[in-house]
Structure 1
Amino acid sequence: MRTSIDARENIDLIEENYRRWQQNPESVDSGWSAFFEGFELGNLPQPNGAAVAEIEAREAALQTRVDSLVYAYCSLGHTIARVDPLAETRPQNPLLSLHEFGFNESDLDLRVSSKFFLDNRPMTLREMVAGLERIYADSIGSEFMHIQDPRIREWVRRRLETRPHKHSTPRAVQVALLRALLEAESFEIFLHTRYVGQKRFSLQGSESLMVILDTILHRCPDGGVAEICMGMAHRGRLNVLANFLRKSLKVIFTEFSENYIPDLVAGDGDVKYHLGYRAVRRLASGAEVEIRLSSNPSHLEAVDPVVEGKARARQRIRGDTEHRRKVLPLLVHGDAAFIAQGIVAETLNLSQLHGYCTGGTIHVVVNNQIGFTTLPKDARSSPYSTDVAKMIEAPIFHVNGDDPLAVKFVSDMAFDFRQRFGRDVMIDMYCYRRYGHNEGDEPSFTQPDLYAKIEKRPSVTQLYKRELLEAGTLSEDDAASLETEFALRLEMTRDEVDAIEKRKASEKAKFRESTAIFQPEYTSTSEPTAISEKTLRTIVDGLTRTPEGFQVQPKIKRIV
């Protein structure tokens, strides 16, 4: 017969093994392990109907919170997206905080999923938030939840989720993007140094426009587009003519000459940054795309309905009046004009009417966040310059112009959206204007803080080149070779134009003494100006004297 002491020893042994098994099942032999597993299984509470219902309700509540989080990012992610290249801090929106959905830091390792995000793929809450941030609140901020058709919303959502990681982009694509940026920057720097003070309405600060245009162009052949009808204002027009339509550099440089006279019957009634052009671009694949850039007046956005009318006419000429996919209208806007000019809303309103539709237009807003000297906060009542496009339920993709890969992604998506749905689509490219409104404007007079920041910022070309060099995608020699190639081409063309100008001047000198126009003899006799020197000095002194203790902006002080 066992004593109570023996029983106590057995209990102690069982408890010791049980404690070890709980900490590490492999620390006890297989017999003990099987015993404890059966013991625990037998002690599990058997579920009843009320318990099951409670578990299901708890799981449903969790799923609702997860789905609400996804929906909030789809709807509001753009409000915290990093789309402004000049922003020092990221925008905040408390409606997107985890606490708003009943989560806290301790919940980040919960396993969750949502049928509204990445095909219901299981992941931790931490991974889900990171994915939502990358897709909806990084360099791209998308507005599409205002679209009433759920099929279109679903297409946009799924397409946004396919955005590739930077490291997965093929080298050839990255080098092609850098090439487009280098071409644009080299052209602007050349004009800036060789034609000092001449108006050209520089593209500098928004060079990624060329990435958008280049991406759309190369999608045209496979997408069924044979022709692009294009309109734009003066900002960056010379760059577009040179590097997108491939207008002769010799002609462009000649137009900068003081003695330039067009060899046209129509005369020379307009400035070079208003001129239209027609070209046929042959791509590396051998495919050809016709591009028609309409001439543009100084009246901003007036060209919009003209381009739509031309596109519709070209569609009729090409026999494409049913689906209207062969001719693509492409309009490039400025942010200030797009929200301010009524003709924009009028043109958008016509976009889906049977008698006016053109199968959808790709709108590109070069959003340099200033209109001449006016900042957005003083120019519009809406959060975005593109808000007017919501009236036709156009999807709007805000994108950081200093992220060329993001710019390319939204350009591809905009092209596919237009070709699939035959509707207007918006690309709102946030960037900046490196210099003034034109080359005669000094922006630091009116926006000193903004332009102090811009002056210190490297260009998108230099930022992207540095990124490729650091990633090992490009070597220093490759980058230098590209830069040298563009610089040499510009210099050689300029030398050729200079030689032609000298020859023309020499020929003109032969006829200097021969003129039928009467030239009156020069006289140095002064004419009365009806104002005394004393009065003039008083006026000038009043205009240039500053109050004592008043701090004058340095550049203005030099002028005064």
Structure 2
Amino acid sequence: MPGVDILATAMTGANAAFLADLYARWVERPDSVDSSFQELFAALNDDARSVLEDATGASWAPRPRGGFAPEEPVAPPAKGAKGDKAAPAAAAAVAADPAATRQQVLDSLRALMLIRAYRVRGHLEADLDPLGLQVKKRHSELDPASYGFTEADFDRPIFINGVLGRESATLREILAVLRASYCGPIGVEFMHIQDPEQKSWIQARIENAPWKGAFSKAEKAAILEDLTEAEGWEAFCAKKYVGTKRFGLEGGEATIPAVQAVIETAAKGGVSEVVIGMAHRGRLNTLVNVVRKPYVQLLSEFKGVSANPESFQGSGDVKYHLGTSTDVEIEGHKVHLSLQPNPSHLEAVDPVVIGKVRARQDMAGDTKARSSVMGILLHGDAAFAGQGVVYETLAMSQLIGYRTGGTIHVVTNNQIGFTTTPAHAYSGLYCTDVAKAVQAPILHVNGDDAEAVVFCARLCAEYRLQFRADIVLDIVCYRRFGHNETDEPAFTQPTMYARIKETPTARVKYGQQLVAEGSLSEAEVQGMLDAYNAKLEEAFQASQSFKPNKEDWLEGHWSGLKAAGAETADSEDGTAVNLDTLREVGAALARVPADFNVNPKITRQLEAKKQAIESGENIDWATGEALAFGTLLLDGHRVRLSGEDVQRGTFSQRHCVLIDQKTQAEYVPLNNIRAEQPRMEAFNSLLSEFGVLGFDYGYSLADPQTLVLWEGQFGDFANGAQVIIDQFIASAETKWLRMSGLVMLLPHGYEGQGPEHSSARLERYLQLCAENNMRVVNITTPANYFHALRRQMRANYRKPLVQMTPKSLLRHKLAVSSLSEFGPGTGFRPVIPEIDAIAPEEEVKRVVLCTGKVYYDLLQARRDADNKNVAIVRVEQMYPFPAKALATVLAPYRNAEVVWCQEEPENNGAWTFMDRRIEKVLKGLDIAAKRPEYVGRVAAASPATGSAKTHAQQQEALVGQALSLS
């Protein structure tokens, strides 16, 4: 028929341009085209552009005066194809039978519009809720009548040009395929993706409902076994430990076969390690049924047995916060699985997992494909929608310094958060809407359709392997009981829980399905459950006498390291470097390729570094830092520096990555010291603290041989990452046996810049210090900073380092070091004694103890006043508290009073932490002073004034008071 012929050619090759030109001419002047096409184009709605894009395979842009045209010329048909003369043929067909042509083309385009509507909006009518409580409305966009079709049109063949895998089909057939594909147990959101290849890939795997009949009998039995283990574990624990909190997975058991399917598919695709992160809901189930923590061990923890060996004296944690790891073999593929520990701060583990994945990939040299190690994040629906770190983690997914080749997000969507329903939990249509920000496809699936769930899980793994991008699986299920095992959910959701009470479990439903279709017998289904219960009963009996007897936290990549002893405040860790090596690193710092166009201002900085190294004097802070990085590289350690604007440095001090002023090319001097050396990487991060600090912490967990540093643009910005600091950095070792050598660089110092850019909140870190959990320093010299950084890698243990870094001291004429202070015979000094020639120690009337930048204010004021009776002692490390070193320095000052001077208000800074510790040192000495006095700003609600004038007055007053000059 002429109508079919014209459509067949008009949708491809040169004739797409013919159709586009007709449409554009009609928009500008309707009577300029044939009357049949006038009716056709008038019938098209706002989806015309999208239909033209789908039909022609080209992107169409609006024309200046209306209509659309291809952004690039549509490729003509291959030589010899029928479309070579399509435009004249199309025109002739219109002339021969315009009415028939108009009807055929109109039917086809309307059908294409309907198909596209289902691809975009079909998920709105999908059968997703196992409880059947979701009120579903018919959407007009999915109604054929909205496109001019009537009942009389349902059985007329319509040409659809290969869409849905058919050249032509009746409207009834088209609707059957669309309903099955997009409105069944799976609802797909993918049309927001801009990459046409990704869209086409998903479309091809969803249309025609391929999950129906996709599983063999053996595969179905395996799915049922996963459901049986998931349900059986929860039922067993509920019976044996009545009322004990475990945050069970009941109602969301499909999560277990979903995660298993992801891991199996990924393993077959070449993934050798999978890192999992999740909150507490279903964690115990995941521990035993996915990551294979021994049943006997976990059951012993229900009895109160610690998860840690008796030889480790940490605090431990509740069982539903703990992690574990194991090796499994899947069809000949060995895979290492690890589940990361996580506090009750639900999504806080997300960036930690991604950072660990990145580190493992880097360690394996998988820096391009990033396919060898994969992350799986399990979320709750309310948390995925409500926690900002979810977006921060998604936002890192394609960034140069943070991408990991895609993460698979699995949402166990209970349709409730504690007692909060979706109407109160998120503003969007779905809890997963935030994932659209990074164009991640989202698969919503009915959690009681086990085969649909597993199909989607496999598809997620395949998508990640194919496109190296994030994807979301939203398993819509329910929570059979309350938030915990003592909660009564019917208080607040009576309707939901009445329906849940009468709803069979997913295992029961699937078992009945398999029996009905003949895949398994009733005896086989019951036997599966009985066998699992017998296994648990055996483990339960063995758990009565079980004791953990193995410390496995210092194995594998952590072999050779050990748990730190007591307060290692005064330890020496061999941080000095010979002078020739220091000069070699220094020379590389100032060396750039001849054809590299360096900014003239930076050229002067490089020349200054060169002169300082050659003369051995006046080495500034940034150069001292670079010497630490460079020498660690030569020791065989990689260096990773991350944070906002770290390549240049907030104060334009670092410039570790040089930018060619003509080509924008990058050059890293420290990566060009020697051939075949390890690399330093510095990444300017997205504007995030919580997510990025979590990422870098996770990186440090995976690789103890890389110096990992996170720098806050200003120190107080770390406030936004307080959960990572409190729950991971400060306490993970004692809770979870997880060491980290992460360095936090926090600019700190009072220079009249207002409350937000003065204090890094030193007091908060000190308040978290105990049990030798981390180091907190406020260093005054480049050399001491050098040794502090090198100590992170040279020690045979790992501890986080919190470093208050300077601002004005970066270029202060007194805050410099000589090359000899980095060389043989030197090391980190936790306490630096008086350096000037003042009165003999027994004649000194006052000793001022201080830390950080205020030292130089005190030093300059004392020199200006020529005061010989006041000594100034710097406490460079506050924790672990250097009691022995401080006692050694203070002992000769037999007749002096001791004061503590700080810039911060009395309720901030180090005073409340140092007060009693200094007093204890003084009481142990045979000197007059028995406790320190405080000198500094008065207590204040805000950490600093916003007035430069007031700041100067306060600073002058506290310095004068400290030196007894006022």
Indicate the TM-score class for this superposition, using the shorter chain for normalisation: 0.7 to 0.9
Say yes or no: does 1:112 pair with 2:158. Answer: yes
Offset, 1:111? 1.1
Partner of 1:306: 352
Partner of 1:212: 258
State how far apart, in whole Å, the 1-side matches of 2:326 and 2:462 are: 24
Q: Secondary structure of the equivalent of 1:307?
A: helix
Offset, 1:168? 5.0
User: Which of residues 355, 360, 364 in structure 1 aligns to 2:410?
Assistant: 364
- Aligned amino acid, residue 323 of structure 1: A
Q: Deviations over 1:12-70 (max 9, x none)?
A: xxxxxxxxxxxxxxxxxxxxxxxxxxxxxxxxxxx996452222222111111000010
Offset, 1:423? 0.7
Say yes or no: does 1:71 pair with 2:105. Answer: no
- Aligned amino acid, residue 537 of structure 2: E
Offset, 1:268? 3.9
Equivalent residues in 2 for 1:437-452, closer than 5 Å:
437-452=483-498
State how far apart, in whole Å, the 1-side matches of 2:537 and 2:360 are: 38
Equivalent residues in 2 for 1:46-65, closer than 5 Å:
50-65=95-110
Partner of 1:462: 508
Offset, 1:71? 0.3
Offset, 1:121? 3.7
State how far apart, in whole Å, the 2-side matches of 1:80 and 1:358 are: 34
Partner of 1:383: 429
Partner of 2:317: 270
Say yes or no: does 1:394 pair with 2:456. Answer: no
Say yes or no: does 1:148 pair with 2:187. Answer: no
Offset, 1:104? 1.9
Say yes or no: does 1:83 pair with 2:128. Answer: yes
User: Which of residues 100, 115, 130 in structure 1 aligns to 2:146?
Assistant: 100
Q: Deviations over 1:75-100 (max 9, x none)?
A: 00001100111125644212211211
Equivalent residues in 2 for 1:286-305, closer than 5 Å:
286-305=332-351
Partner of 1:427: 473
Partner of 2:270: 224
State how far apart, in whole Å, the 1-side matches of 2:318 and 2:214 are: 45
Q: Secondary structure of the equivalent of 1:198?
A: coil
Q: Deviations over 1:458-492 (max 9, x none)?
A: 00000000011111111112112211110100111
Q: Secondary structure of the equivalent of 1:95?
A: helix
- Aligned amino acid, residue 222 of structure 1: K
- Residues 161, 424 of structure 1: CA spacing in aligned structure 2 closer, same or farther, 3 A cutoff? same
Partner of 2:371: 325
Q: Secondary structure of the equivalent of 2:448?
A: coil
Say yes or no: does 1:257 pair with 2:303. Answer: yes
Equivalent residues in 2 for 1:477-488, closer than 5 Å:
477-488=523-534
Q: Which has the higher helix share?
A: 1
Partner of 1:183: 229
Q: Is the 8 A contact 1:228 1:291 kept in 2?
A: yes
Q: Is the 8 A contact 1:163 1:409 kept in 2?
A: no
Offset, 1:401? 0.5
Which consecutive unaligned segments of at least 5 residues does structure 1 have?
A: 1-46, 502-560
- Residues 159, 199 of structure 1: CA spacing in aligned structure 2 closer, same or farther, 3 A cutoff? same
State how far apart, in whole Å, the 2-side matches of 1:436 and 1:261 are: 26
Q: Is the 8 A contact 1:70 1:116 kept in 2?
A: no
- Aligned amino acid, residue 270 of structure 2: G
Partner of 1:489: 535
Q: Secondary structure of the equivalent of 1:295?
A: coil
Q: Is the 8 A contact 2:162 2:168 kept in 1?
A: no
State how far apart, in whole Å, the 1-side matches of 2:211 and 2:535 are: 35
Q: Secondary structure of the equivalent of 2:152?
A: helix
- Residues 266, 431 of structure 1: CA spacing in aligned structure 2 closer, same or farther, 3 A cutoff? farther
State how far apart, in whole Å, the 2-side matches of 1:114 and 1:77 are: 19
Which stretch shows the higher mean deviation, 109-118 or 370-379? 109-118
State how far apart, in whole Å, the 2-side matches of 1:365 and 1:439 are: 21
Equivalent residues in 2 for 1:508-527, closer than 5 Å:
none
Q: Deviations over 1:76-132 (max 9, x none)?
A: 000110011112564421221121111122221111242463223432211110110
State how far apart, in whole Å, the 1-side matches of 2:426 and 2:485 are: 26
State how far apart, in whole Å, the 2-side matches of 1:145 and 1:210 are: 28
Offset, 1:351? 0.8
Say yes or no: does 1:235 pair with 2:281. Answer: yes
Offset, 1:260? 4.6
State how far apart, in whole Å, the 1-side matches of 2:467 and 2:373 are: 15
- Aligned amino acid, residue 453 of structure 2: V
Say yes or no: does 1:418 pair with 2:464. Answer: yes
Q: Deviations over 1:175-203 (max 9, x none)?
A: 11101000110111000111001100000
Offset, 1:165? 5.3
Offset, 1:164? 2.5
- Aligned amino acid, residue 77 of structure 1: G
State how far apart, in whole Å, the 2-side matches of 1:320 and 1:468 are: 43
Equivalent residues in 2 for 1:397-408, closer than 5 Å:
397-408=443-454
Q: Is the 8 A contact 2:297 2:546 kept in 1?
A: no
- Residues 100, 381 of structure 1: CA spacing in aligned structure 2 closer, same or farther, 3 A cutoff? same
- Residues 326, 259 of structure 1: CA spacing in aligned structure 2 closer, same or farther, 3 A cutoff? closer
- Residues 304, 107 of structure 1: CA spacing in aligned structure 2 closer, same or farther, 3 A cutoff? same
- Residues 362, 500 of structure 1: CA spacing in aligned structure 2 closer, same or farther, 3 A cutoff? closer
Q: Secondary structure of the equivalent of 2:417?
A: coil
Offset, 1:500? 5.6
Say yes or no: does 1:498 pair with 2:544. Answer: yes
Say yes or no: does 1:282 pair with 2:329. Answer: yes
Partner of 2:220: 174
Offset, 1:222? 2.1
Partner of 1:545: none
Q: Is the 8 A contact 1:334 1:365 kept in 2?
A: yes
Q: Deviations over 1:277-298 (max 9, x none)?
A: 1111123x23211011111011
Offset, 1:447? 1.0
Q: Is the 8 A contact 2:412 2:474 kept in 1?
A: yes
- Aligned amino acid, residue 438 of structure 1: N
RMSD: 1.7
- Aligned amino acid, residue 437 of structure 1: H
Q: Is the 8 A contact 1:395 1:426 kept in 2?
A: yes
- Aligned amino acid, residue 293 of structure 1: L
Q: Is the 8 A contact 2:114 2:141 kept in 1?
A: no
Partner of 1:544: none
Offset, 1:258? 3.5
Q: Secondary structure of the equivalent of 2:328?
A: strand
Q: Secondary structure of the equivalent of 2:287?
A: helix
State how far apart, in whole Å, the 2-side matches of 1:109 and 1:350 are: 50
State how far apart, in whole Å, the 2-side matches of 1:50 and 1:113 are: 20
Which stretch shows the higher mean deviation, 119-128 or 316-325? 119-128
Q: Is the 8 A contact 1:201 1:236 kept in 2?
A: yes
- Aligned amino acid, residue 68 of structure 1: M
Which stretch shows the higher mean deviation, 111-120 or 420-429? 111-120
- Residues 361, 499 of structure 1: CA spacing in aligned structure 2 closer, same or farther, 3 A cutoff? closer
